Amino acid sequence: MGKNVLDINDGNFEQQVLKSDQTFLLDFSATWCGPCKAITPVVDKLADEGVGRYRVGKLDIDDSPGVARQFGIRGVPTLIVFRNGKEAGRHVGASPNVRDALAKLLVD
């Protein structure tokens, strides 16, 4: 995990994500998920680029099934942008344009 990517779990989700004063990109993933591993460099780079403008975190759906269930995560990777404690956008999968799609969600 990149140095600017927070480790999010069922215990700290509300405080770190929902109560964040900045836009938050949360990457729902799993250790066994190949596509999740494929987009990790993209997520890490977005986290590095967003310091001071938005925050980025990663949540393992196997370790934190409560939050995954709460947001209806049915497949990984699923990336959700939160603003003011509410879901503001969602991207599912590791498409070739994932970086552009996430960048768009972060500025909309």
Marked catalytic residue, from 36, 39, 67, 76: 36
Catalytic annotation present for 80: no
Spatial contact of 8 and 59, defined as CB atoms under 8 Å apart? yes
Catalytic annotation present for 74: no
Concatenated DSSP letters of 6-69 = EEE-TTTHIIIIIT-SSEEEEEEE-TT-HHHHHHHHHHHHHHHHTTTTEEEEEEETTT-HHHHH
Marked catalytic residue, from 6, 33, 80, 98: 33
Alpha-carbon distance 90 to 78, whole Å? Answer: 7
Active site residues: 33, 36
